Amino acid sequence: MAVYVDDAIWRWKGRKWCHLMADGEAELHRFAHRLGIHRLSYQGPPKTAAPHYDITGLERDRALRMGALSISRREVVALYRKVRVRKGALQAAE
């Protein structure tokens, strides 16, 4: 399993932001915890289809030093499709 940060950095509220994603949700939460990201920052079902955290550019740099892999916009879209929770799957789990 791996953890990823995209290189699609955007500006919002005076900071640069990107996405922290992983092959699995448990790995994503473990890495975010090690990175010092609070669980309240998590964005996943039902709010969004793909589990992720929005992180700042500074947190991105630290994540890369901790072993996260940098991925392109095209790669993040492919990862999003791989890890997204489809509506039917979410309903089946309820």
The rounded distance, in Å, linking the Cα atoms of 3 and 5 is 7
Residue 18 amino acid letter = C
CA angle, 12 then 33 then 83, to 5° = 70
Domains of the chain by residue range: 3-93
pLDDT in tens, 75-87: 888 888 888 876 5
For residue 88, what are its two tokens?
A: 């039917």
Residue 49 has pLDDT above 60, yes or no: yes
Residue identified by tokens 């791989």 is 82
pLDDT in tens, 53-77: 999 999 999 999 999 999 988 888 8
